[in-house]
Amino acid sequence: MGYRAELENLSRNRNAYVLALSASMGSIFYGWDTGLIGGVLSLPSFQQYFGVDKLSASAQANLNGNIVSVLTAGCFFGALSTGYISGRFGRKKPLIASGLIYLIGSIIQTVSGIGSSQVVALRVLYFSRFLGGFGLGMSTALIPSYVSECTPKSIRGRCTGFIQASNNLGIMLSFWVNYGSILHVPFGQLQWRLPFAIQIIPGVLFVLLMLPQPESPRWLAEQQRYEEAARSLAYAARSSVDDEAVVAILGEIKADLAGKERMPIWKQFHMMGESRVTALRSFIPSLVMLFQQWTGTNAINYFSPEIFAGLGITGTSSGLFATGIYGIAKVVAVTTAVIFAVEKLGRKMCLLIGGLGQGFMMLWIGGYSAIHPQTTVVPASYVSILAVYLYAIFYGIGYGPVPWIVASEVAPNHVRTAAMSLAIGVNWLFSFTISRVTPNLLEGIKYGTFLLFGVCCMLMSTWVYFFLPETKGYALEDIRFLFEKDMMVRALEDAPGGRVFLGGRRSIPVAELRKAATEDSTMVARSSDEKMSEEKVEATTQSV
C-alpha cells in the first residue's frame, strides 16, 4: 500500500483512529508509571528522604521491590473489578472513572511525606501507589475491549496496537523526565516529586479526550440498545446508521449475541466453560498476557538503571541516560510495528520474530554476565548494551503490542468482559510477581535472571508456532471458526515452513464454515417457527 492509499485510509477511518488514540492515552499513564519508578528509586534525593541509603543491599532490594510491586497489586484488583463494572455500566464510563482514580493516586504520590514522619511518608506512598494502580488496572482491562469493539476489522489490529505504542511512549517520556530531574533540578524533595507530579498531565488528557467518544456498540447491543449501537458503529465508520456495512455488522453482532444479551458477569465466568472452543478462546487471552510478562520486559523497565550498571554504565545520570535511549528504541519499534507490521505480517509472525529475538538477546546478556561479572567495561560490554536495545526493538515488534491485540480479538463476544478482566488480572498478577522478585533475583542468582527470561521466550515462540492461528482480517464474530475445527492445522498453515508438518492435510476455509453455520441457524429458526405454528394449530383445534 502506497502513501496515497495510506492517507486515504487515514482520512476514511479518522474517527476510529481518534477514538483509539483517545483511549490509548490511558496506556500512556500506565507506561509513565512503569518507567518512572525505576528512575525515581535510583535518585539519591529519594533514597535520602525515605532512608533507603541507610539500608543494607538486601533490605534496599526488598524495599524497592515493595514500592514497585504495590502499584501492580492495585492494578491486579483494579483489573478484576472491571468484570462487573463494565458489564453493568459499559466501557466508556468506567474508563473515565479509572482516569479519575489514577489522578487521585498520582496527586497523593506527589505530596506524600509533606508534614509527616519518614515512616508515615512511606505508608502514604504505598497507599497512593496502590490507589493509582487500581485505576491503571481498570484502564488496562477496559481499553483493549473498547478499542477492538469500536473499530473496523480492517484497522482493528493497528488501532489496538496503539495501546502498547502509547504505553511505550509513556515509558520513554518518564525515562527522560527522570534524566532531566537529575540534571536540572537541585538536590532535594522537588527532584523526586516533580516526576510524580508530571504524570498527572496524561491522566487529565485521557479523561478529557474520552468524554466525547461513543460507547462500545457491542455492549450497547448486549443491552438491546440497537439504535445507539448503530450510531456508534456509524461514527467509527464515518457513515450513516442506514449504511449497508453498518446494518450488516449490527446484524452479525445480534446473531452472535442471540440469547446471551445482558448476561451478568458471574454467568459470563460460568459460560467460559460451556464448550471446548469457548474455554480455549477464553484461556488464550490470559496465556498471552502471562507470556508478555515472562519475556522479562518489566524487569528491565523497572530496574534498568541497575541492569545497565551491571553492564558497566556507572553513575545515576549515565544510567538514566542509557535508560532513556532504551525507551526511545521501544517507542520507535512499537510504533513501526503497529503502523506497518501487525496488519501486513500478521499477529503470528510478529510474535515469532519478537519472541525469538528477545530470547536470543536475553540469553546473550545472561551469558555475558556469567563470564564477566565485573562492572568494568570491556569490548563485549558494548555488545551486551546493544543487546539490551535490540531486546527493546524485538519487544516492540512482538510481545509489546501483539498480546493486547490477540487477547481482545480471540476472547468470545458474549464472555469478553469476563475473559479480558481475567486476562489483565493475570497480566498484573505476574507483573507484581516479577517486579517484586527481580531485585532479589538480580541480587541472588544474578545472570541466571536473564537466562530464565531467555528460555521462557523460546518456549513461548514454540507455542505460537504450533498452536496460534493467524487472526488478522477476520471479523470478531468469525474468529470462532479458527478454533472450532483444525486449529493446529491452521496454526501450522500460517507458520513459516509449517506445512512441512502437515503433509497434504489442509483446514476448511472460514468462508465455508460461516456459510454452513448460517444455513444451520436458518434451518433451526425455520424448524422453531414451524413447531410454533403446529402448536398454535393444535391449540386452536383443541379449543374448537
- pLDDT single digits (tens) 76-112: 888 888 878 888 899 999 999 999 999 999 999 999 9
Backbone angles phi, psi at 473, to 5 degrees: 85, -5
Cα gap 407→164, rounded to integer Å: 13
Cα gap 152→138, rounded to integer Å: 24
Which distant-in-sequence residues (6+ apart) come within 8 Å of 491 by Cβ?
Answer: 348, 465, 466, 467, 468, 469, 498
Q: Give just the sign of the alpha carbon dihedral 438, 439, 440, 446.
A: positive
What residues in the chain have per-residue pLDDT under 70?
1-3, 5-6, 259-263, 301-306, 315-320, 375, 520-544
Single-letter residue type at 268: Q
Contact in structure between 493 and 507 (CB atoms under 8 Å)? yes
Q: How far from chain centre, in Å, is Cα 333? A: 16
Contact in structure between 129 and 109 (CB atoms under 8 Å)? yes
Contact in structure between 82 and 97 (CB atoms under 8 Å)? no
pLDDT of residue 404: 84
Q: Of 98, 156, 18, whose CA–CA distance to 421 is shortest?
A: 98
Cα gap 308→329, rounded to integer Å: 15
pLDDT in tens, 439-480: 778 777 788 888 999 999 999 999 999 999 999 888 887 898
Q: How far from chain centre, in Å, is Cα 532? A: 47
Backbone angles phi, psi at 168, to 5 degrees: -70, -30
Q: Give just the sign of the alpha carbon dihedral 428, 430, 433, 435.
A: negative
Contact in structure between 170 and 305 (CB atoms under 8 Å)? no
pLDDT of residue 38: 74
What's the length of the chain?
544
Backbone angles phi, psi at 280, to 5 degrees: -65, -45
228 CB-contact burial (10 Å; exposed 0-12 / middle 13-18 / buried 19+):
middle
Cα gap 412→414, rounded to integer Å: 6
Contact in structure between 30 and 136 (CB atoms under 8 Å)? yes
Cα gap 358→377, rounded to integer Å: 23
